[in-house]
Amino acid sequence: MSMFETITIPQVGFTYSLPIGLFINNKYVASKDGKKIDTVNPSTGEKITSFYAASEEDVDDAVKAAREAYENVWSMMAAEERGLLLYKLADLIERDKYKLAALETLDSGKPYHSNAVNDLQQIIQLTRYFAGSADKYTKGETIPLNHDKYAMTFKVPYGVVGQVIPWNYPLAMASWKIQGCLAAGNTIVIKPAENTSISLLYMAQLFVEAGFPPGVLNVVPGLGATAGTALAAHPDVNKIAFTGSTQVGQKIMELAGKSNLKAVTLECGGKSPAVVFADAALDNAVEWIANGIYYNSGQNCTANSRVYIQERVYDEFISKFRVFVRKMWTFGEKLDPFDEKCTVGPVISETQYLRILSYLEHGQNEERLKMETVGDFQKDSRGYFLPPLYFLDVPQSSKLNQEEIFGPVAVFSKFKDYEEAIKLANDTMYGLAAAVFSENVRTVNQFVRDIKAGTVWVNSSNDEEISVPFGGFKMSGIGRELGQSGVDSYAQLKAAHINLSNYT
């Protein structure tokens, strides 16, 4: 039984021996029950391939492999050696970045030239960053207490870590988690999203080629209700890290608590505001905000999906936004995300496509809001293409202003002054990110102080850096990724008291 299938992507001339098995102990294997999942090209609606779906028993096998690797090999390896393996991995990813990016485009629909290749470039950068951190961020400290006593702290790995990643950035979100976790000295069982698993399955081979021992990384694609639940509830998993919706994040946290109180990192949903003050450089604000909502077809947790504009420049902003988006947006020729001109691809699936349409219908028919589109709906396409859209003069109470749509849909509203702006921006259960546009240093610093969000961009939007911690407030999550936090979040602190005197 072959664990590989040959596929070709003619637009870029790549042919793959594509793995379709679970990746456990450095080998591709069939699931115990033989069940498979179809994955579909969202730009055509056509099946790409089928891969094996992990059962609860398969997840258990992967956890056992990770535990054995941790106890017998990985925890004993010098931190410098772990870093060298990550450097080798970065070189291999760089060698294959165009092939990996093409798989991302095929499976997720993101534009190849403007999105997928950029994602791979960030992955290479962060892999080298975490490679360099392996023997640096895991150090503790010595605390002198008195003449006869001192204490020491140690940052030690959790052990076996479970990870669950979403479909909007398949390899990027996996790499945010994997590389920092390995640098900290843990072993991993990771579940990719069921509709975007093939790129991570393919990249798993590079870990073998780089020299990572068997069991250090295990990839178990499968349904969330089966594989994801089994991983979050497993009694021998010491920590679970999740990126996805708030609703699923709540379930992950519940399962973690009921099983063995495993540590939890959650990066969940968002409804990120962008606030434009009258003194902002409007052309700059327009460009950042347009890209902040329409990049990756709006399928981004930090997308600035609700935009508040000071009322005296509202009309001017909307006019400039309308012109700019018409220039920046194109599906490319033949609705092909491999086209160099393509800047906006399809949304991920028919389910997501219909979900977004339901919001559009609600906004137009039930709330009677004014909607403008930047292009035509592709009614004759079998893919899931939606043109960039936006709603004008949306009240704060609107469903469109409160719920995460996760598509190429912007919502515009007005505000009078700073007090109203910050009140509107904070009026949400989410707190993942926010952006502010103003040329007044006092205004932007007040906003940074007052906004309840884990990341704040000043005169920009969605330009995260791998060296800067990322994570949310409120129901957008718990914990941080990237930067030093990307290693520290996968280590726990141990203290030792060293006594030099006799008992008196």
**Of 396, 395, 375, which is closest to residue 385 (Cα–Cα)?**
375
Residues 391-403 as b or e (16 or more Cβ within 10 Å = b): beebeeebebbeb
Q: Kindly report the three-state secondary structure assignment for every residue of 247-288.
A: HHHHHHHHHHHHHCCCEEEEECCCCCEEEECCCCCHHHHHHH
Question: CA nearest 367: which of 398, 409, 390?
Answer: 398
What separation, in Å, do the N-terminal and C-terminal C-alpha atoms of the chain show?
71
Residue in this structure with the two tokens 């919001």, named with its chain if needed: 359
Query: Is-contact 465 127, C-beta < 8 A?
Result: no
* Residue 261: exposure state from Cβ atoms within 10 A (0-12, 13-18, ≥19): exposed
Task: Give the CA dihedral 312, 303, 321, 314, nearest 10 degrees.
Answer: -10
Q: How far apart, in whole angstroms, are the C-alpha atoms of residue 485 and residue 265?
A: 11
Dig out the tokens for 217 from the structure: 């990384």
Rounded CA gap, 216 and 205, in Å? 13
Tokens of 355: 């979900």
Task: Give me the torsion for CA of 456, 457, 463, 469, rounded to 10°.
Answer: -30
Cite the active site residues.
267
Inter-residue contact 135 to 83 (CB < 8 Å): yes
Q: Parallel, antiparallel, or unpaired for β 430-431 and 473-474?
A: antiparallel
Contact assessment for residue 246 and residue 476, using Cβ atoms and an 8 Å cutoff: yes
Residue 387 — φ and ψ, nearest 5°?
-70, 160
How far apart CA 188 and CA 176 sit, in angstroms, is: 13
Residue with tokens 């220039």: 327
Exposure string over 461-485, b if 16+ CB within 10 A, otherwise e: bbebebeebbbbbbbbbbbbbbbeb
Facing residues of 36 across strands? 52
Specify burial of residue 147 (Cβ count, 10 A radius: 0-12, 13-18, 19+): exposed
